[in-house]
Amino acid sequence: MISTVSRASHRIRKAVKLPGKHSESPLRVLFYNHCFGIPSRKLVSSARLHASVFFLRKYGRVRNPTIAPTIALIRDAKPDILAIAEVFGRKQRLSLIAALKRLGFRSFHSGFGIRMNSGDHVEVLLATRERSAPVAVPAIDHSPNLPGCGGGVVAAMMGGDTIIIGLHAALRRIPRTRRVWQRQMQVIEQIVQDNPAKRMILLGDFNLVPKHFPPFLRSLGRYSSLDPTCSTTPIIRLVYRRPIDHILGHGFDVISSTVKRGESDHRAVIVELVPSFPLH
C-alpha cells in the first residue's frame, strides 16, 4: 500500500505536511553519504579525494578522515533510523558504532561494497534506536572494484513489520559498473519478496534522479523531497547539482522532509514519517 501523500510527493519539491490526524510519534529517518569523513564540501579537499580515489584508486592517500562532523550532524538531527554511505572500512565503522551507541542507537548492520587497495571495503552502515534484526542480503559481486561500483546493500527488520534497506548504488551510466547496479536492484527486489512486511523504508545514495528510476523504484512512495543533494562543492555544484540521495518506501505518510548540509559533498536527507495505518 502506498499512501496518497507518498504518491503525490513524486511531484513536489518542498516537504509535505499532513494535518494532525496521527497520534503516533513521528519516526525520524536520516540518510547521509559522508564521503569517507573527508570535508569534500571544500573544493581542494574534494579535488584531492576524487583524484586519489576515483582516478588513481589509491585509497591510502585518503588522509585524516574524521567522523566528528558526521556525528555532530546526526546529534543535531536526532534520527531514529539512519544509514551512512561511504564508510571508510572496518576501523571507521567501529568508530561510528561506538559514537552512535552514545547517542542511544542499539542495533547496527553493515553492507560491503567496493574493495579498497588495502583489502578493506567501502561500506554502508545502518543503525536503529529500536532493536532491529539483520536480514540476509544475497551476494553482490562488486568487482572489478572500479570507482562507481557502489558501497553496498544492507537490510534489517524492525518490530517485525518494517523492513529497512540501506543502499549505496553503483553508477548505472558506466558500462563496467552497470551490471553491479543491475544486481543491486535485483537484490533489493529479492529482499522485499523474501521478507514481506507491512512497511518498508529504502534509503540511500541511488546515484540517480527520480526520472531515471527503474520500474520497481518508481512503484514506491517518495518520502524525501526533490531538493538537490549533490554536489555541495563550490564550482562543481555549478555544473552538477541533483537530487540523487533518496528515502522511499510504503506504509508511511510524510510529516516533513528536509535536507541538511554537513562537511560532505552530499547533503543529508531527513524525513519524519508516521504509519499510514495502525502498527498492530
Domain membership of residue 226 (yes or no) is yes
User: How does residue 260 score in pLDDT terms, banded at 50, 70 and 90?
Assistant: very high
CATH number at residue 41: 3.60.10.10
Indicate the range of 147-156, 179-188, 254-263, 265-274 predicted with least confidence. 147-156
- Give the single-character DSSP code of 40: T
- Residues 133-152: pLDDT tens digits? 999 999 999 876 777 778 89
pLDDT at 245: 98
Domain encompassing residue 143: 4-275
Contacts of 102 (CB under 8 A, 6+ apart): none
pLDDT digits (tens, 9 = 90+) for 182-219: 999 999 999 999 999 999 999 999 999 999 999 999 99
Q: Which residues pair with 4 in a beta bridge?
A: none
pTM: 0.89
Instruction: Judge residue 219's burial from the number of C-beta atoms within 10 Å of its C-beta, 0-12 exposed, 13-18 middle, 19 or more buried.
Output: exposed
Strand arrangement, sheet containing 27-33: 107-115, 121-128, 81-88, 27-33, 268-275, 252-260
Give the dihedral sign, CA 136/138/142/148: negative
Task: Give the pLDDT score at 265.
Answer: 93
Q: Give, to the nearest 10 degrees, the angle between helix 89-102 and helix 68-77.
A: 40
- Bond from prior residue into 144 cis (ω within 30 degrees of 0): yes
Question: Which is more confidently placed, 141 or 19?
Answer: 141
Report yes or no on 280 lying in a domain: no
Beta strand spans in 54-150 (E): 81-88, 107-115, 121-128, 132-134
What is the structure's pLDDT at 121? 87
Cα dihedral sign for 88, 89, 94, 95?
Answer: negative
pLDDT in tens, 209-252: 999 999 999 999 999 999 999 999 988 888 889 999 999 999 99
Cα–Cα distance, 97 to 12 (Å, whole number): 35
What pLDDT is recorded for position 54? 64
Exposed e or buried b per residue across 119-138, where buried means at least 16 C-beta atoms within 10 angstroms of its C-beta? ebbbbbbbbbbeebeebebe
Name the one residue in this structure whose C-alpha cell is 555549478.
Answer: 238
For residue 107, count CB atoms less than 10 angstroms from its CB and return exposed for 0-12, middle for 13-18, buried for 19 or more: middle
pLDDT tens digits along 49-78: 766 666 556 665 566 689 999 999 999 999
Total domains in the chain come to: 1
| pLDDT for res 166 | 98
Average pLDDT of the chain, as a whole number: 87
Residue 2 in this model has a pLDDT that exceeds 50: no
